[in-house]
Amino acid sequence: MKKAIITVVGKDAVGIIARVCTYLSAQHVNILDISQTITGGYFNMMMVIDLTESLVSFSALQEGLSAEGAEIGVIVHCQLEDIFTKMHRI
Amino acid sequence: MINTYEVLETNRMIAEENLDVRTITMGISLLDCADSDPDALCGKIYRKVTEKAARLVSVGEAIAHEYGIPIVNKRISVTPIALVGAAACKTPEDFVRVAETLDRAAKQVGVNFLGGFSAIVSKGMTPADERLIRAIPEALARTEYVCSSVNVGSTRTGIDMDAVRLMGETVKETALLTADRDSIGCAKLVVFCNAPDDNPFMAGAFHGVTEGDTVIHVGVSGPGVVKAALTQAHGLGFEDLCETVKKTAFKITRVGQLVAKEASERLGVPFGIIDLSLAPTPAIGDSVADILKEMGLEQPGAPGTTAALALLNDQVKKGGIMASSSVGGLSGAFIPVSEDRGMIEAAECGALTLEKLEAMTCVCSVGLDMIAIPGDTEASSIAGIIADEMAIGMINQKTTAVRVIPAAGKKVGDRVSFGGLLGYAPVMAVNRFSCGEFIARKGRIPAPVHSFKN
């Protein structure tokens, strides 16, 4: 399974999760885990996704997600999971 | 599964603390390009470099994008050209042509430096070695991407003082030939003792003859991350200080290892080594000097600096070695002056002198690095500075290097500016007393005793 981590940071608004999830669903990307917090009006979300069935290339998915984010005023990053697991797990 | 805190920590290191992979360097052996005809030699070199490294930059960029980690430089190191060109290059001008060929190849594949216009002369110079060294000033003046290094000594062989003397003159001439650009040629010229065969960092990278045909080395960095971690360690004991540096170095190196493995796999080139170096840049917050200040020094150069640097260097290695399958290169903290904003400040306010920098090089990689000195410094004095630094490397069984810039037309207090990663530096004072008679002696300093260590 090839996994990636999505992080969404920005001012809280209605429908941020819905927007990201709808986009992922359209690309056949499965969501494995979501966690989110709001601190001082700022929305902070992390999502673990499975890229195995994705209809588009990883770089297209990255661009698509940041374009979706830009439309609703949040910053969306999508990175392959390895950079986090290698750094934080022995 | 990974948690939010860990994800945010990694991304903060990248976004705010300048965590990056400093360089992916592809080592390419040019031994099979040797030919007795200079034209044929240049043709073979151009073809091999451009074929082997054709995808280096695009693969580096793809990895950076997918993992969200900047990979600042994509570079190439080649077999020391004094060996490759020995049969073909009958004059220094022939070697300059090879340098120009390498420059064109580097430009073609889009890398920002290519190292290996080098000679390994730790015991003596062949006529080809000498021709290459005499070609260095012109080669560096006429090319943009080529870097040059000369290894003039080692713990096993001693120091070739004829080469040291010649390098003093070469450094000076290189400065003069690039006088219109603040003597930038000297920023691309390193004199080594105990040069490693697998160093990915410029200007001293070359692909040693002990290496395979092609190989991928990665240089990690991250002084900003170490500094940020140490802000949490104020007032704590040395045990906690060391533990903090070690853990941070581990994390940084794991990222380097990941990038190295990916690059090696995607390019179909074997992975060589990770170079565990804290390499600063002139950017704010990307400074080794700031780490020393965070440890409790008012300025680098203050009493205690050598001890603090020794601690830092050793803990970086201890943390990094466990994080990588294979460590090599220079591996340690770099203390270049012009490439580190904190070091520049320390030199400008008088905290840091050439002599203190020399002491610091005894405990860290790599040597007197990116230091501007007055343009009227005698060639023999430059050779003396080189000889001192080589002696430190020879006796202490470590790599040492000298990359000084006798900035043409400049005097103490003036400033030279190279731009980009090479930064800017105040011109520092050199001891005004002569070593001319010592340097004029012919021959070499013999290899040291390997016992009775005191």
CA-to-CA separations, B319 to B18, B200, B322, B397, in angstroms, rounded: 19, 20, 6, 22
Residues on chain B touching A38 (C-beta within 8 angstroms): none
B322, B250 in Cβ contact below 8 A? yes
Structural domains of chain A in order of their starting residue, each with its CATH number? 3-88 (3.30.70.260)
Q: Do B258 and A86 touch (CB under 8 A)?
A: yes
CATH 3.20.70.20 boundaries in chain B: 20-193, 220-442
Query: B191 by DSSP, 3-state: which?
Result: strand
Q: What is the pLDDT of residue B284?
A: 84
Nearest by CB to residue A84, choosing from B7, B65, B66, is: B7
Window A:35-74, CB contacts with B under 8 Å? 35, 37, 44, 46, 48, 58-59, 62
Which CATH number is B220-442 given? 3.20.70.20
Residue A78's Cβ-count burial label (10 Å; 0-12, 13-18, 19+) is buried
* Structural tokens at position A16: 């941020």
Nearest C-alpha of chain A: how many angstroms from B254?
6
At residue B3, does pLDDT exceed 90? no
Its pTM surpasses 0.80: yes
Q: Do B7 and A5 touch (CB under 8 A)?
A: yes
**Alpha helix stretches (DSSP H) within chain A:** 16-26, 58-71, 82-88
- Reported as a single tens digit per residue, the pLDDT across B219-252 is 998 899 999 999 989 999 999 999 999 999 999 9
Report how far residue B46's alpha carbon sits from residue B49's, in angstroms, rounded to the nearest whole number: 5
Nearest by CB to residue B65, choosing from A37, A59, A89, is: A59
Q: Do A33 and B7 touch (CB under 8 A)?
A: no
Which CATH number is B20-193 given? 3.20.70.20
The complex's ipTM works out to 0.90
A30-44, A60-74, B102-116, B156-170: least confident range:
A30-44
- Reported as a single tens digit per residue, the pLDDT across B77-98 is 999 999 999 999 999 999 999 9
For testing contact with chain A, the best of B14, B66, B255 (most A CBs within 10 A): B66
Report how far residue A35's alpha carbon sits from residue A21's, in angstroms, rounded to the nearest whole number: 13
